[in-house]
A and B are shown apart, each in its own frame.
Chain A
Amino acid sequence: AQSVSQHNHHVILSEAASLELGCNYSYGGTVNLFWYVQYPGQHLQLLLKYFSGDPLVKGIKGFEAEFIKSKFSFNLRKPSVQWSDTAEYFCAVPNNNDMRFGAGTRLTVKP
């Protein structure tokens, strides 16, 4: 079964710092990849997704992710974080008829 692993459990940054959150999926072939975000007290919502084509995908709020097939990775990046980016971030990969989520990375941005 497909699975994803997220290496950072809790990341603390100051505003304007750059962000990179790691995500690795378990095996290759054709793969679709997702990043979801959960702001405090809210439900999960889609941040960005990769289906095919350009391996650098851009999402909402200035986030982007790069699909590197040789490394089985789909890391999330943002050049300059804001306090409002404080949230939990989940990488996800489809597995047959369902979706497998990583354990999540909690991002705290200090003003």
Chain B
Amino acid sequence: NAGVTQTPKFQVLKTGQSMTLQCAQDMNHNSMYWYRQDPGMGLRLIYYSASEGTTDKGEVPNGYNVSRLNKREFSLRLESAAPSQTSVYFCASIRGWTGDNEQFFGPGTRLTVL
């Protein structure tokens, strides 16, 4: 049982480049989340998916797109990276459909945009 996995672990991009962050969970969880973590600001929700086929914006969705490919996988795409998107990105999942359950986190992706 790997839990929540993320790839890549580290990435350096130039301004304007695009990339996709991958997340997968093997716990049969319904809901999945993408957060960014910045110093002094905690975790801020970018997008979430309450179930396969649905996605919703969180607090800071601008500059990102997501795809809930199937129940296991939830990807985050940066179409044109900007230095302000330098951050650590965490994927998480929960068993139910609402936010009042324990979240299980992946190991994170450290992204630097030059």
Q: Is A98 within 8 A of B48, CB to CB?
A: yes
Given A43-B107, A43-B108, residue A90 in contact with residue B102 (CB < 8 A): no
Q: How large, as a class, is the contact surface on chain B?
A: 20 to 34
Given known pairs A43-B90, A44-B90, A44-B105, the reply for A97 and B43 (CB within 8 Å) is no
With beta carbons under 8 angstroms apart, the residue of B42, B90, B106, B108 that contacts A102 is: B42
Of the candidates A36, A101, A103, which one forms a contact with B40 in the assembled complex, judged by CB atoms under 8 Å apart?
Answer: A103
Contact of B45 among A9, A42, A43, A99 (CB under 8 A): A99
Task: Give the A-binding residues of B (Cβ under 8 A).
Answer: 31, 33, 35, 40-45, 48, 50, 56, 58, 90, 92, 97-100, 102-103, 105-108
Interface residues of A (CB under 8 A from B): 6, 9, 32, 34, 36, 42-46, 49, 51, 90, 94-104
